Amino acid sequence: MAASSPRWSVRRGAAWAMVLANGVLAEQMLVTSGFTNCNSNPSIWVDQASFKYSNSDKTMVFSMSGTSEKEQDVYVALSVTAYGHEVYNSRINPCDTDTPVHALCPVSANKFSAESTQTVPEKYASQIPAIAFHMPDINAHATLRLLSADNTEIGCIDSQITNGETADKAAVSYAAAGMAGAALLVGTASAAGSALSGAGAAGSAGGAASMSPSFGETIGVFQGIAMTGLMSVDMPQVYQSYTKNFAFATGIIPFIDMERSIDRFRNSTGGNLTTDSVDYLTASSSDSTSTTTKRALARAVSLFTREEEGQSGSSVKEVLSGIQKYFNRLKVPQSNVFMTILLIVLIIIAVIVVGVLLGKVILETWAMYGKFPESMNGFRKHYWRSMARTLTSLILLLYGVWVLYCIFQFTNGDSWAAKLLAAITLCIFTGVLAFFSWQIWRTAKRLQSTNGDAAALYEDKENWIKYSIFYESYKKDFWWLFIPAITYMFAKGAVLAATDGHGMAQAVCLLFVEGAMLALLAWSRPFERKSGNVVNISIQTVRFLSVVCVFVFVEEFGVTETTKTVTGIALIAIQSTLAGVLAILICWNAIVAFIKENPHRKRRKELEKQQRDLDTLTPLDARNSLLMLDRPKGDGSDTFSMAKVHPGYDSKESDGYEHDPANPYSIPLDTKGFSRPMTPMDGDNGRESLIANAAPPGRGGNWKS
């Protein structure tokens, strides 16, 4: 009997915050979660096995049942490994212990069942650190081998150990969804407030999204976390569970009944349910599933496969990673992934269409029976445009993950109908974005050739309504940045899908993609608001650092399990901090949503007002008088200059009248021309002075004081 002690100090320090978060008052238990048979040709088949260690009384309770080919004496060898370190290793004779296990002493032929409670010696119990009972998704497993008298292995099972704590929390998903919903409400409220304040259709069309973090930016953060979890590297269990919380942001919201419907669709269109279906995944996740059943379903559930190697009879266990492993944990078969997001998106589209049409009906009813606000006429008359704009925004939001799922369907799907739908929808999504990109580019080039710049993309109301969702957050000089952004989304989704199963290539390619986007944002700082630059560059920095950390999980580098776990916890801390900051900013935006106006819309409205003023001038309008020819300078020297009205006028040839400093209403002479200060006239004194200084009738302009 031997034992080894791991180096726990680094893990304890790195995960101390998580220990506090999970609390220390819960019962300290370590239990097994399911098992697999690790012997290809056992003489004892284990059908059921469970182990539970209680730290309070230092006891281990285990139960086991199975079938033996014959009656035989056995020895039990148990080893426990945590984070790559063996923390417990012992060999037990079930007949010699203080509490003998009679069912194993000896094992009877055919069926057998054994239960026992063993006291763990203090020298072994003391080696289990307190953090092991509170660390979420502890990376530990137990291997139990049954040995014959001559030390031949006659049975073997391997089981994952858990303490009941996990980073996969429904509350995290709800909180993240709530953040995204809050960002959407803030953006919607801002747009609605602009519309009601008189901005009209243009006001309702744009501007709200320029506040950071917007709904799209928030969803983008959650998509980035989930897509990191899709990478084909050996991630620690705690980080895998954490990324699972954000699967909803990628459009995957699984329901068992929906998955069964997809299975039936696949079955009728060339799919093979024997190897990939939700029922097999559900069955395989049950802890009570027997080894015999698991062996029969091994290939079917895609959790492990067993292959013959020559005449040796040895087995090979295929460890899943990447996209398939991620979605198997969600109970979504890999061949169902695309159809799942397609159905979810169709539901969202139906909600959008029904919502817009319902809004149209409400407004029409309001217009018929009530006093209808003028500011709502834009939506009322062009509701179809609002619908198209919303659907285009949805395509822009999901484009990256849509590329990912479509390519994954092409390479891993088994239904010809699902592949056809993937091809059609990918062409539609790409075509819509390509069409708008071309239209905006062509419009911008036309404006640059006629006006010298593309400012009319922001200032012209029609252009703004049509295209602003693509560039409304950017400065005028960087309207084009939406094109690299779309290219970035396509590249990221394509790399993840095309390199699935190849962790090193995946990490290298994604490092280049994320680094290029970060460099572009840092160089251009393209967002109109300073907050937009800070938020988006921070988001991209976290994405880049996440890929850098992923290199620790690449198997080719052979990094220890301890380092991988510490890195996983560090990633969780970084990404959670970013999410927390976004939550704070969303709350702040809710406060200022009705205070600050979109700068592009503000400038456009000012130009529209000036244009209306010019269009409404009349000959008698004071704004059309000579006084408007010399605009105020605002520095106290505002004057009315005759020289500016009549360039040929020479003050030196005037009638010789000179300025009297004592008379504020006299006309001064200077070298620049005949000018008079713009001074006020107050009350009766002003009128009397005006009459006194007026020219006598019939003398015209040839008068003297």
Between CA 477 and CA 205 the distance in angstroms is 21
Q: Give me the DSSP letters along 293-321.
A: HHHHHTTTTTS------TTS---------
Last residue of a domain, one of 128, 145, 162: 162
Residues 496 and 556 in one domain: yes
Domain that holds residue 638: 617-692
The closest alpha carbon to 42, from 159, 157, 160, belongs to 157
| Burial tier of 440 (Cβ tally within 10 Å: 0-12, 13-18, 19+) | buried
- Tell me, yes or no, whether 697 lies in a domain: no
Six-digit token string for 64: 């086991």
Q: Is residue 298 part of a domain?
A: no
- In terms of Cα–Cα distance, which of 338, 326, 328 is closest to 269? 338
- Does residue 654 form part of some domain? yes
The pLDDT score that the predictor gives to residue 342 is: 96
Residue 22 is assigned to a structural domain of this protein: yes
Number of domains in the chain: 3
Whether 146 contacts 156, CB under 8 Å: yes
Residue 47 and residue 65: Cα distance in Å, rounded? 6
Rounded to whole angstroms, how far apart are CA atoms 326 and 250?
A: 12
Buried residues in 50-72 as b, exposed as e (16+ CB within 10 A): bbebbbeebebebebbbbbeeeb
pLDDT at 45 over 80: yes
Domain end (from 126, 144, 162): 162
pLDDT tens digit sequence for 3-30? 434 443 334 433 433 433 344 345 688 8
Q: In the structure, what pLDDT confidence band is assigned to residue 303 with cuts at 50, 70 and 90?
A: very low
CA distance 224 to 176: 13
Q: Are residues 560 and 654 in the same domain?
A: no
* Tokens found for residue 603: 């400038």
Q: Are residues 594 and 644 in the same domain?
A: no
Domain boundary among 604, 636, 654: 604
Local structure of residue 109 (DSSP, 8 states)? S
Task: Supply the pLDDT for residue 346.
Answer: 95
- Residue 226 Cα distances to 229, 262, 298, 401, 572, angstroms: 5, 23, 27, 10, 12
Q: Where are the beta strands (DSSP E) in 38-166?
A: 44-54, 59-68, 75-82, 85-92, 110-119, 140-147, 153-162
- 114 and 194 inside one domain: no
Band of residue 653 on the pLDDT scale cut at 50, 70, 90:
very low
DSSP letters along 401-419, please? HHHHHHHHHHHH---HHHH
Q: Are residues 526 and 628 in the same domain?
A: no
Of these ranges, 10-24, 359-373, 426-440, the one predicted with the greatest mean pLDDT is 426-440
**Cα 672 from Cα 164, distance rounded (Å):** 90
DSSP H or E segment with residue 677: strand 673-677
What are the tokens at 261? 């419907």
**Average pLDDT in the 34-57 region?**
83
Under DSSP, is residue 49 helix (H, G, I), strand (E, B) or coil?
strand
Domain check: are 93 and 129 in the same one?
yes
**Whether 136 and 266 share a structural domain:** no
Q: Provide the residue type at 220 as one letter.
A: G
Q: Is residue 292 part of a domain?
A: no
* 3-state class (DSSP) for residue 681: coil
Angle, vertex CA 119, rays to CA 117 and CA 125, nearest 5: 130
DSSP string across 560-573? -HHHHHHHHHHHHH
Tell me how far apart the alpha carbons of residues 179 and 354 are, in angstroms, rounded to a whole number: 24
Nearest to 38 by CA among 236, 315, 234: 315
476 found inside a domain: yes
| Residue owning tokens 């004081």 | 705
Tell me: do 592 and 622 sit in the same domain. no
| 301 lies in some domain | no
Q: Which residue has the higher pLDDT, 467 or 368?
A: 467
Please compute, for residue 202, the number of CA atoms within 13 A of its CA located in the half-sphere on the CB side.
20
Does one domain contain both 511 and 554?
yes
pLDDT, one tens digit per residue, over 239-290 is 999 999 999 999 999 899 999 999 999 999 998 888 788 988 887 665 333 3
Of 70-74, 98-102, 657-661, 666-670, the range with the highest mean pLDDT is: 70-74
Strand, coil or helix: what is 529?
A: coil
Asked whether residue 575 falls in the same domain as residue 633, the answer is no
Q: What is the pLDDT of residue 149?
A: 82
CA 104 to chain centre: 54
Residues 394, 425: contact at Cβ < 8 Å?
no
Q: What is the pLDDT of residues 174-203, one digit of tens each?
A: 999 999 988 888 877 766 655 554 444 343
Counting every residue, how long is the chain? 705
Residue 266 maps to a domain: yes
Please tell me the distance from the alpha carbon of residue 108 to that of residue 104, in angstroms, as a whole number: 8
Distance CA 494, CA 498 (A): 6
Alpha helices in 7-61 (DSSP H): 9-14, 16-22
For residues 102 and 193, state if they share a domain: no
